[in-house]
């Protein structure tokens, strides 16, 4: 994951140092948590340290935003109190009533609901398309299309989108590309190099990495009028992370490149195990050569990710039984933390879910892979 960057620009180093030196006043090596909501003016009325009020800016949030922008190679970042808040601000900054958004047929269900239940009633047309099919995308683009939403691998079917091809189509049609890179942080998917205009992260997941803090971010390729609008909504609506949330997220980020290596290596082994298990009907993991997106994933990603889904020959009943029988892996929603999580996805996605009912989604954690495989094996035993 280090690539050919020069000293100080490699991801492992950026993750630790991109925020800059911590505290000139005390020499503290980690940035203190600045809980103050307000900052004092000088007698002449200026704000000598650049901060006025924490909703519009705070040293901990600045440090997090600098780091997030550096990790993606973006021009700037805006941090939010959740990935969903970041998504909502991005959508409302780029879309107006009468516009169209092209979105994947398989995507994180919470953002799908925001699109259908908040943006659509506001007058935005939402068109769902198979983003893994460039012909379908080309046919779906209209003169009203303003944004294309990409999530690759998608949640929970791990469909792969060829980002540079789709970004090219979008840009020729005058639309912008927002890429939800929650599953592929730290340039596992180099979204800007591939043509994305805005990268979204639920920092709740891999970036913070320990299932203990919610957060989101928008990273932009350039600081333009759309970013000014993002900053406006960030500061005036105030869906911002607290200084402690920023501090926790930054602490997680420091080990991100090393954690990702473990997640990826474990997921590849778990996918290979499930792929040959007699109770498993199908494994969705882009690192398996049988996956229809294998070639594209290999070309555009620096790893196949830590997430996978699988379907049970015994149907929904078997899927629910397997989730009930795991002892080490936790039955919980979310992903990207150090602990492996398993989830019967259809039952959390709501009535209109398209997710197969015999599908389980697995966030492969950092336990020893033999222990994860042992747990799955014993749970699958009677499936």
Catalytic annotation present for 55? yes
Q: Which of 55, 254, 269, 330 does the annotation list as catalytic?
A: 55
Choices 5-13, 81-89, 231-239, 291-299; region in contact with ligand PLP by CB under 6 A: 81-89
One of 62, 180, 268, 349 touching ligand PLP (CB under 6 A) = 180
Cβ atoms of 72 and 219 within 8 Å: the answer is yes
| Cβ atoms of 319 and 312 closer than 8 Å | yes
Rounded-to-integer distance, Cα 328 and Cα 310, Å: 18
Q: How far apart are CA 130 and CA 150, in angstroms?
A: 10
Catalytic residue, candidates 180, 197, 245, 375: 180
For 380: left if phi > 0, alpha if psi spans -120 to 50, otherwise beta; the answer is alpha
* Contacts to ligand PLP from residues 266-325, by CB under 6 A: none
Residue 54 or 204: the one with the smaller Cβ distance to ligand PLP is 204
Kindly tell me which of 158 and 372 has the beta carbon lying closer to ligand PLP: 158
**Residue 363 touches ligand PLP, criterion: CB under 6 A:** no
Backbone CA torsion sign across 193, 181, 354, 93: negative
243-279: b (≥16 Cβ within 10 Å) or e: bebbbbbbebbbbbbebbebbbebbbebbebbeebeb
Coil, strand, or helix at residue 140?
helix
Smaller CB separation from ligand PLP, 90 or 214: 214
Measured CA to CA, the distance from residue 260 to residue 374 in angstroms comes to 22
CB of 288 to ligand PLP, least distance (A): 21
Measured CA to CA, the distance from residue 87 to residue 93 in angstroms comes to 10
The residue sitting closest to ligand PLP, measured at its beta carbon, is: 83
Residue 258 designated active-site: no
Task: Report in angstroms how near the CB of residue 76 gets to ligand PLP at its nearest.
Answer: 20
180 included as an active-site residue = yes
180-188, 230-238, 244-252, 272-280 -> range binding ligand PLP (CB under 6 A)? 180-188
Q: Is 221 a catalytic residue?
A: no
Q: Which is nearer to ligand PLP, 141 or 154 (CB)?
A: 154
* Min CB(367)–ligand PLP separation in Å: 21
Task: Of 90, 136, 18, 341, give the one whose Cα is nearest residue 239.
Answer: 90
The footprint of ligand PLP on this chain (CB under 6 A) covers a number of residues equal to 16
123-162: which residues touch ligand PLP (CB under 6 A)? 151, 155
Structure token digits, residue 138: 């080309």
Residues 6+ apart with CB under 8 A from 7: 13
The residue (of 60 and 81) whose beta carbon lies closer to ligand PLP is 81
Provide the mask over 188-227, with x wherever binding to ligand PLP is found by CB under 6 A and - wherever it is not: --------------x-x---------x-x-----------
Which residue's CB is nearer to ligand PLP, number 142 or number 333? 333
Element (H, E) at 218: strand 216-220
User: Shortest Cβ distance from residue 87 to ligand PLP (Å)?
Assistant: 6
Q: Check if the beta carbon of residue 124 is closer than 8 Å to that of residue 95.
A: yes
Residues that bind ligand PLP (CB under 6 A): 82-84, 108, 110-111, 151, 155, 180, 182-183, 202, 204, 214, 216, 334
Catalytic residue IDs: 55, 108, 180, 205
């Amino acid at each position: 994951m280090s690539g050919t960057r020069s000293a100080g620009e490699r991801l492992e180093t950026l993750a630790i140092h991109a925020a800059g030196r911590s505290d000139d006043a005390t020499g503290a090596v980690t940035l203190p948590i600045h809980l103050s909501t307000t900052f004092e003016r000088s007698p002449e009325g200026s704000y000598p340290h650049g901060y006025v009020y924490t909703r519009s800016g705070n040293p901990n949030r600045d440090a997090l935003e600098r780091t997030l922008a550096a990790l993606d190679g973006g021009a700037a970042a805006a941090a939010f109190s959740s990935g969903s808040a970041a998504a909502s601000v991005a959508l409302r900054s780029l879309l107006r009533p009468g516009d169209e958004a092209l979105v994947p047929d398989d995507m994180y269900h919470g953002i799908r609901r925001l699109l259908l239940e908040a943006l659509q009633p506001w007058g935005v047309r939402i068109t769902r398309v198979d983003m893994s099919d460039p012909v379908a995308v080309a046919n779906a683009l209209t003169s009203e299309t303003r944004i294309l939403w990409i999530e690759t691998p998608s949640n929970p079917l791990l469909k792969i989108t060829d980002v540079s091809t789709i970004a090219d189509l979008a840009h020729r049609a005058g639309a912008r590309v927002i890429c939800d890179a929650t599953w592929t942080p730290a340039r596992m998917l180099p979204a800007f190099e591939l043509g994305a205009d805005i990268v979204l992260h639920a920092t709740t997941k891999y970036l913070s990495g320990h299932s203990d803090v919610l957060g989101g971010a928008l990273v932009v390729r350039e600081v333009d009028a759309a970013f000014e609008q993002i900053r406006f909504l960030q500061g005036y609506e105030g869906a911002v992370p607290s200084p402690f949330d920023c501090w926790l997220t930054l602490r997680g980020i420091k080990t991100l490149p090393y954690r990702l290596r473990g997640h990826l290596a474990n997921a590849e082994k778990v996918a290979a195990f499930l792929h040959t298990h007699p109770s498993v009907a199908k494994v969705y993991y882009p690192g398996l050569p049988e996956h229809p997106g294998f070639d594209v994933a290999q070309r555009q990603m620096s790893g196949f990710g830590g997430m996978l889904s699988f379907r049970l020959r015994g149907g929904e009943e078997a899927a629910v039984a397997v989730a009930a029988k795991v002892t080490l892996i936790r039955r919980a929603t979310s992903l990207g933390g150090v602990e492996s999580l398993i989830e019967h996805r259809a039952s959390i996605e709501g009535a209109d879910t398209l997710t197969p009912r015999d599908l389980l989604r697995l966030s492969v954690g950092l336990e020893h892979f033999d222990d994860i495989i042992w747990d799955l094996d014993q749970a699958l035993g009677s499936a």
